[in-house]
Structure 1
Amino acid sequence: MPIIVHIDVMLAKRKMSVTELSEKVGITISNLSILKNGKAKAIRFSTLEAICEALDCQPGDILEYRSDEEVQV
């Protein structure tokens, strides 16, 4: 998938656990894990906004686009 999710990087930078983030954002740990592991097919803007607010970051800090060729290298 050409969209790379860096939630784990931001969690480490903010010294925050997945459990803490899920409580602040209001989504289940399993749904956050699906997103974190790049298995999600979509994300609501309201969820993205809540994650960015909780992590004090911009959407570009947690989402990155890479072409299929770059991902396979």
Structure 2
Amino acid sequence: MPIVVDIDVMLAKRKMPVGVLAERIGITPANLAVLKNGRAKAVRFTTLASLCEVLDCQPGDLLRWEPEPNGTVAADDRTDGIGGVSQRDTVGRAGP
């Protein structure tokens, strides 16, 4: 996937354990692992904002784009618009 997640880099810079970050942003450690390991299909802006607030960084410090070697996008990575990602594919805040 051409989007690379650098949460581990920021965690190391801040000397913060993953469990502490998950607790502070209000998501489960399992969902944070999905996001930081690059397996999430999407991330909510509220979650991204919380990550930036807790880690005192900008979104670009956590996410970066690297082109695929062959320059194509896999069919599974496309959506049919802003609302084209299902909720099961998102990583978000834990809620009631």
TM-score range, shorter chain: over 0.9
> What residue is the counterpart of 2:34 in the other structure?
34
When you count helix as a share of all residues, which structure comes out higher? 1
Q: Which whole-Å CA distance do the structure 1 matches of 2:69 and 2:59 have between them?
A: 23
The TM-score, its normalising length taken from structure 1, stands at: 0.94
Alignment length, in residue pairs?
70
Q: Name the aligned partner's letter for residue 18 of structure 2.
A: V
Match of 2:19 in 1: 19
Mapped to 2, the partners of 1:46 and 1:12 lie a distance apart of 22
Give the share of equivalent positions with the same residue, in percent: 61
Offset at residue 69 of structure 1 (A)? 1.4
TM-score by length of 2: 0.71
For structure 1, list consecutive stretches of 5 or more residues without a partner in the other structure: none
Q: Answer 1 or 2: higher relative contact order, Cα 8 Å, separation at least 6.
A: 1
> What is aligned with 1:46?
46
Q: What SS class does the counterpart of residue 33 from structure 1 fall into?
A: helix
User: Hey, what's the Cα distance between the residues in 2 that align with 1:28 and 1:42?
Assistant: 16
- The aligned residue for residue 56 of structure 2 is 56
Residue 6 of structure 2 is aligned to residue 9 of structure 1 = no
Displaced runs of 4 or more, over 2 A: none
The 3-state SS of whatever aligns with 1:68 is: coil
